[in-house]
A and B are shown apart, each in its own frame.
Chain A
């Protein structure tokens, strides 16, 4: 079982719709969860971090964490073509130095 798993996609969503990206993790000691966005040929950039169960909203982005189910998701409302990118889920165990990434989900927003 992979430490962090994501649907590799590609995920195609019409402009203006909600894009839903999912991530599961295997280490129950994980405490910190991050969503990175990576445009083609560019470096990953952080868009959301979440540490507690529940929802965290930042503009059009909402991260959802359920530690009991070992599940973290990212919702993108009012999707824009500029949201087209690969989204990487990353997980860190408390006190650990290692940030473990999923394989990424490629998202395409269709105008």
Chain B
């Protein structure tokens, strides 16, 4: 199936831990994103990569570090997790340069306890 896939779907962890979320797309897109959706459903962009190059970093704490080993993958590593990091994190991808929509992964619900 062509899609944007994220793992894991659920992540429960204690404060202070370090965790990673992985994202892969097989749509042939060259731009990938991480969005954070809070409890009020507001989707806020965090990062965007184009062909492995960081192009958007929306004043996210440096505890969050994205890594793109190739244009089909964009992972998110989070250090020293805090309670306020609890949210749903969505990976998305689209084709650069076209006024096309972004396709979203199924989301990772992160709960920090």
With A86-B41, A100-B45 given, is the CB distance from A94 to B99 under 8 Å? yes
Q: Can you list 25 A-B pairs with a CB-CB distance of less than 8 A?
A: A8-B40, A32-B99, A43-B106, A43-B107, A44-B43, A45-B104, A46-B103, A49-B99, A49-B101, A86-B41, A88-B43, A90-B102, A97-B50, A97-B56, A97-B96, A98-B45, A98-B56, A99-B33, A99-B92, A99-B94, A100-B45, A101-B43, A103-B40, A103-B42, A104-B42
B37 CB to nearest A CB, Å: 9
Which applies to chain B's interface (DSSP): helix, strand, loop or mixed?
A: strand
Question: Complex formed: what's the CA distance from A108 to B99 in Å?
Answer: 30
Give the shortest distance, in Å, between A89 (CB) and chain B (any CB). Answer: 11
B83 contacts chain A at the CB level, 8 A cutoff: no
Q: Is the interface of A mostly helix, strand, loop or mixed?
A: strand
Among all A-B residue pairs, the 4 with the closest Cβ atoms: A101-B43, A43-B104, A32-B99, A104-B41
- State whether the Cβ of B48 lies closer than 8 Å to any Cβ in chain A: yes
Query: Does A25 sit at the interface, judged by CB under 8 A?
Result: no
Question: In the complex, which range does the number of interface residues on chain B fall in?
Answer: 20 to 34
With the chains together, A31 CA to B100 CA distance in Å? 11
Given contacts A43-B107, A103-B40, A103-B42, contact A98 B48 (CB under 8 A): yes
Q: Report how far A59 CA is from B54 CA in the complex, Å.
A: 38
Interface of chain B residues 26 through 51 with chain A (CB within 8 A) = 31, 33, 35, 40-45, 48, 50
A55 to chain B, nearest CB (A): 18
Whole-angstrom distance from the CB of B72 to the nearest CB of chain A?
Answer: 17
